[in-house]
Amino acid sequence: MSEPVKIVMDAMGGDFAPAEPVKAAVAAVREKDNIQVILTGKRELIEQELSKYEYPGEKIQIVHTSEVIETAEPPVMAIRKKKDSSIVVGMQMVRQGEADAFVSSGSSGAILVGGQVIVGRIKGVERPPLAPLLPTKKGVSLLIDCGANVDARSSHLVQFAKMGSIYMENVVGIQNPRVAIVNNGAEEEKGNALVKETFPLLKECRGINFIGSIEARDIPDGYADVIVCEAFVGNVILKLYEGVGSTLISQIKQGLMTNLRSKIGALLVKPALKETLKTFDASEHGGAPLLGLRGLVVKTHGSAVAVEQKNAIFQCLQFKEQQINEKIQEHINDI
């Protein structure tokens, strides 16, 4: 049998740590053979959680860390100061080749900064993008970039298109993924300065299936598989997607409780509604990968529960087995 893929899970990250990350690790090693999970965090707390489950003991390892980076901490300072935190120690293991990937529901800022300064970029990658999956009518689309570094250059966006295509094809399994750039209109003459500069570069770029501009309205329809934009716009899209969705759903739920008639109806529609809303949920695909690093870093939601975190572990497995980083390195400078 080949060497198992080693994945570090931040046991202290997210709203439900350490319970959910530990549960995710147990579920992952029970379900798949070729995984080894390393939990970073406070040993005592982790052991307490682990004691609730049965699992093949040799497949989960604990690396004790004494510090925790809180969500509200300024990320650069946190990464620099808290050398013995679950995030810094976990990322150091990836950097030193002791692990293949790192998964965390912790501070986004710290994960983004740590990915760049601890794990480090693949040679040739100018900027590592954070690329969450958005649920759509037809499945999922990769939104690339939603990271912390805004005001990107056109060369960054071209690299995002390439990395996003490799990811969607090999990890999500979409043949010849359609790449589109976020624009304020469908016509070629539309766009801000950055989009106008990037559009012809994407058009000429070989090895990607560029289909032109995408208006924000068409994103939920699943019109493109890889949606390229700079991080400020990506952040707006990601957060508004979540915001409009959750507001509308809460409004609808409230509306269903207005009178007896609608309350009875609500009981009847509940299972079907739940099923529908589940299809509009990307957590079965894991978390958002930070691409272009020498190793994989995956950010799961702060509110993630074990299912999402377990799927993030499988996402890392797929990433490693499909040799995504080798493919990125090979193609990042193709013209």
Please give the residue ranges that form the binding site for a second copy (CB under 8 A): 136-137, 150-151, 182, 184-185, 191-193, 195, 215-221, 231-233, 235-245, 247-249, 251-252, 254-256, 258-259, 261-262, 264-273, 275-277, 279-280
* Residue 108 C-beta: closest distance to a second copy, Å: 9
* Residue 242 C-beta: closest distance to a second copy, Å: 6
CA atoms of 106 and 9, how far apart (whole Å): 11
Residue whose structure tokens are 């798949």:
32
* Contact status, residue 315 vs residue 300, Cβ threshold 8 Å: no
Beta bridge pairs of residue 296: 101
* Residue 258 C-beta: closest distance to a second copy, Å: 5
Pick 207 or 255: Cβ nearer a second copy: 255
Q: Tokens for 213?
A: 């501009």
Pick 4 or 245: Cβ nearer a second copy: 245
* Residue 219 C-beta: closest distance to a second copy, Å: 6
Q: 2: closest CA among 289, 321, 243, 294?
A: 321
Order of all β-strands in the sheet with 209-214:
133-136, 139-144, 226-228, 178-182, 209-214
* Residue 195 C-beta: closest distance to a second copy, Å: 8
* Contact status, residue 226 vs residue 144, Cβ threshold 8 Å: yes
* Residue 282 C-beta: closest distance to a second copy, Å: 14
